[in-house]
A and B are shown apart, each in its own frame.
Chain A
Amino acid sequence: MIGRITAMLLRYLYLYRRSAARVMGVVFWPVMDLLVWGFVTSYLEKAAVPPPVLFLLGAVIFWDVFYSSAQAITLSITEDIWGRNILNVFVSPIRVSELMVATSALGCLRALTSAALLSVLAALFYGFRIASLGLALAPFLASLLLFGWAVGMMTTALILRYGQAAEALIWGVPFLIQPLSAAFYPVAVLPAWLRPVALAIPATHVFEGMREVLAGGAFPAGRLAAAFALNAVYIAAAAAFFGWMLGRVREKGYLARLGLE
């Protein structure tokens, strides 16, 4: 089992080693995002907006963790569809669960690499220290990774079923979640009818918790408990959806057509 997971992880890492586009995804775009929000933060501080506005930088770093985690899963599978390699993978003895673990591990590596880089730059350029989140930092990151895996699994299931027609979801789904997860503003800013929807998203509790800690609040145990409980539901639902969809895809004969469209 470990051998097959390592094989697929290696396959994706080989790609990152020589693909400028993939490295840009880990380094360039997140850094550009950080710079934009860093300057916005500097401007707001100079304009005497009441502190703390530094949470915007934390939000950028945290958002990237979720986004990278989800995208690594969907992009990895899609890469094999584009390259007409997906059938080679599906006729090998790998279990679908092993493939998901490999892509999730890649997501974890990608997200943490990116987060480490952004954290260093945020400290150097804007004086924002992610370590100021203290003990809550690790569970915050873990929660975002888990939510990214759930979203990645669901999106991949749709790509397996609908093929190229669903590929826009790789980039679309995270940005559908962004306004609802209150990454850059408190949930209270949302219209009242939208708040229950926002609170049903695990990432919302992470972003809210982060703002509370940065504002000097205590360890956000309640927020983290809510985030992990919701993640458990989302991961279970995503795995069930993925399994059901894969069965349908086999039944309908769509799997064999992947990459040949």
Chain B
Amino acid sequence: MAIEVTGLTRRFGDVAAVNGLSFSVARGEIFGLLGPNGAGKTTTIQLLLGLTTPTAGDIRVLGLPLATHRREILQRCNFSSAYVSLPSNLTVRENLEVFARLYAVPDRARRIAEVLELFEIADTVKRLTGALSSGQATRLNLCKAFLNDPEVLFLDEPTASLDPDIAEKVRLTLSRIQRERSVTMLYTSHNMREVEILCDRVLFLSRGRAVRQGTPAEVLADSRAESLEQLFIAIARDGEVRDVRGEEASE
């Protein structure tokens, strides 16, 4: 397993942001962590990256306990978020050079050229990061995330700021990389169409608890929803899953 989470709980005072969460992600799988704002997705990613310590529960990444092997795990993982930026006053090349050194990437110049080609922003290499369009900046974040050829990738709404054309290109690139290199991806997104296309399995969170888990088809069958979007809305409004079609019929 790439990620194993057992009984994970994170309390902030009286509020449980994550409450007894258990799930596992197989190697090479794209796993969607879904739910409305405040459901606990970002807190879960922060816990998986060791940015926040859990109140209870156990996290293992690549077979290693996070509590005792955090650095070793981080060396083999990477992260990209729509809400985190690379320094705007460094050029694209300088930013990637810094992170390539941080992750001890061999043959840095070649690898930097490769990831820039991969996300089709090779022409921006000498430009200041702050001068990039939001689409280019997002793709640069992804370049940084792929620099160390990670075994596990944490992607927090990676396509949030992209126009549909670029978002589609990014999805295709992620899909291709996952097929070719078997990278495990833990993915959060509010775009349910994207999730249906990309994710092998999904987990819906509501108020810190897992309310549905399985392949998109299984989750839809269980809840009798017609689409993940419909299920998402039902969870966001009710906080739990009922028979979505039955509920609509009774209305």
Contact = CB atoms under 8 A, between A and B. Distances in A.
Given A7-B102, A88-B144, A15 B87 contact: yes
Interface stretch (A132-140, A229-237, A248-256): A248-256
Given A15-B90, A250-B52, A256-B51, A10 B98 contact: yes
Interface stretch (A78-86, A191-199, A200-208): A78-86
Contact of A85 (B51, B77, B78, B84): B84
A7 B101 contact: yes
Interface string B39-51: 0001100100111
Contact of B84 (A15, A88, A251): A88
A19 B53 CA distance: 36
Please report whether the interface of chain B is mostly helix, strand, loop or mixed according to DSSP: mixed
A18 interface: yes
Contacts of A93: 71-72, 74-75, 102-104
B52 A95 contact: no
Interface in A64-93: 79-80, 83-85, 87-93
Contact of A83 (B12, B51, B88, B103): B88
A87 B103 CA distance: 15
**A contact residues, range:** 20 to 34
Contacts of A83: 85-89
A84 B83 CA distance: 8
Please report whether the interface of chain A is mostly helix, strand, loop or mixed according to DSSP: helix
B98 A91 contact: no
Contacts of B104: 3-4, 93
A260 to B, nearest CB: 6
A94 B88 CA distance: 21
B119 interface: no
Contacts of A87: 51, 79, 81, 84
Contact of A80 (B51, B71, B87, B99): B87
B97 interface: yes
A19 B94 CA distance: 15
B237 to A, nearest CB: 27
A79 B99 CA distance: 16
A14 B94 contact: yes
Contacts, number: 99
Q: Which of A83, A88, A259 has the most CB atoms of chain B within a 10 A radius of its CB?
A: A88
B209 interface: no
Contact of B101 (A3, A79, A253): A3
A93 B99 CA distance: 10
Contact of B102 (A94, A253, A260): A94
Interface string B14-43: 000100000000000000000000000011
B142 to A, nearest CB: 12
Interface string B98-130: 111111100000000000000000000000000
Contacts of A6: 101
B201 interface: no
B139 interface: no
A92 B52 contact: no
A11 B89 contact: no
**B contact residues, range:** 35 or more
Interface in A17-63: 18-19
Contact of B74 (A18, A80, A92, A255): A92
B102 A4 contact: yes
Nearest to B79: A91
A91 B90 contact: no
Interface in A141-196: none
B207 interface: no
Contacts of B90: 11, 14-15
A255 B52 contact: yes
Contact of B86 (A85, A95, A250): A85
A95 to B, nearest CB: 7
A8 B104 CA distance: 12
B99 A92 contact: yes
Contacts of B17: 253
Contacts of B85: 83-85
Nearest to A95: B71
16 contacts: A3-B102, A3-B104, A8-B102, A10-B94, A11-B90, A15-B89, A83-B87, A88-B84, A91-B79, A92-B102, A93-B71, A251-B52, A252-B12, A253-B43, A253-B46, A256-B52
Interface of A: 3-4, 6-8, 10-11, 14-15, 18-19, 79-80, 83-85, 87-95, 250-253, 255-256, 259-260
Given A10-B97, A14-B89, A87-B51, 13 more contacts: A8-B102, A15-B89, A19-B89, A79-B87, A80-B87, A83-B87, A84-B83, A88-B144, A91-B78, A93-B104, A94-B102, A250-B53, A253-B51
